Amino acid sequence: MSKKVAFVGLGVMGYPMAGHLSTAGHQVSVYNRTVAKSDQWAAEHGGTALATPREAAAGAEFVMICVGNDNDLRSVVYGDDGVLAGMKAGSSLVDHTTASAEVARELHAHCKELGIAFIDAPVSGGQAGAENGALAIMCGGEQDAYNAAEPILAAYGKNVALIGEPGAGQLTKMVNQICIAGLVQALSEGVNFAQSAGLDVEKVMGVVGGGAAASWQLSNRYETMARDEFEFGFAVDWMRKDLSIVIDEARRNGASVPVTAMVDQYYADVQKMGGNRWDTSSLIARLKKFS
């Protein structure tokens, strides 16, 4: 059933996600800080580009947000021009930003006072997952709110699940980033080791990738890593932002994340090498530089 949906934040993830909502038959209005991007999206998909988050959210049954961090999120939610100023009781706010669990709980409490449902719903799968409508979406919130939002999320989510109470989606995304950090470092070491040993990397990874070492990172990144190509997927700057959220949360909940903290510093080295916009697989460039 067609719904009136607003999408705020048309970056490399939000742009195709909003497009899938339009393709699914929903009436989509969009807002982006860079006006040219929202105008481009509207011209391409036939939706409506609005000048403020409030205008985009006005009358929408569902408002989806995908911006950079906690501060960006608050800037488009609160205030006279924020989405909450345009939303009505009974509507739903779904946040796809990778942010802190703290801000998710804050927004849930604020929305509840206004009679608005809230779901924190960070995503995983990268730009390719967004473009192909095959994202993993990890949700936190109340069951009724999730049940209402799930059919909308199906437009771009392949694996969508309610994990728990508000904030649980963000905490699950932190687990995701912890796992990725360790996997990419290990894969970097494996590829670099194979090259240093004079092995045929393609043959090596063809064998180990069919066994217990198999992973998405291995299947999708070893070839470009071996060629020192890092223009794919999630940028180092954004990964460091995510890992800082993980490390802060670990301090609060007492979890030990030594490998994550170490890899965060390795990414700091990549930034010093000028690799801020390289993708996360660029850890191998650091290995080669400092080996």
- What stretch(es) of the chain map to CATH 3.40.50.720? 4-165
Q: Which residues are catalytic?
A: 173
Would you give per-residue pLDDT tens digits along the chain (291 residues)? 899 999 999 999 999 999 999 999 999 999 999 999 999 999 999 999 999 999 999 999 999 999 999 999 999 999 999 999 999 999 999 999 999 999 999 999 999 999 999 999 999 998 999 999 999 999 999 999 999 999 999 999 999 999 999 999 999 999 999 999 999 999 999 999 999 999 999 999 999 999 999 999 999 999 999 999 999 878 999 999 999 999 999 999 999 999 999 999 999 999 999 999 999 999 999 999 987
Identify whether the C-beta of residue 221 lies closer than 8 Å to the C-beta of residue 232.
yes
Give the architecture (CATH level 2) of 4-165.
3-Layer(aba) Sandwich (3.40)
Domain 171-290 has CATH 1.10.1040.10: yes
In whole angstroms, give the CA distance from residue 202 to residue 193: 13
Cβ-proximal residues to 103 (8 Å cutoff; 6+ apart), any chain = 70, 73, 74
- What stretch(es) of the chain map to CATH 1.10.1040.10? 171-290
155 closest CA partner among 13, 18, 4 = 18
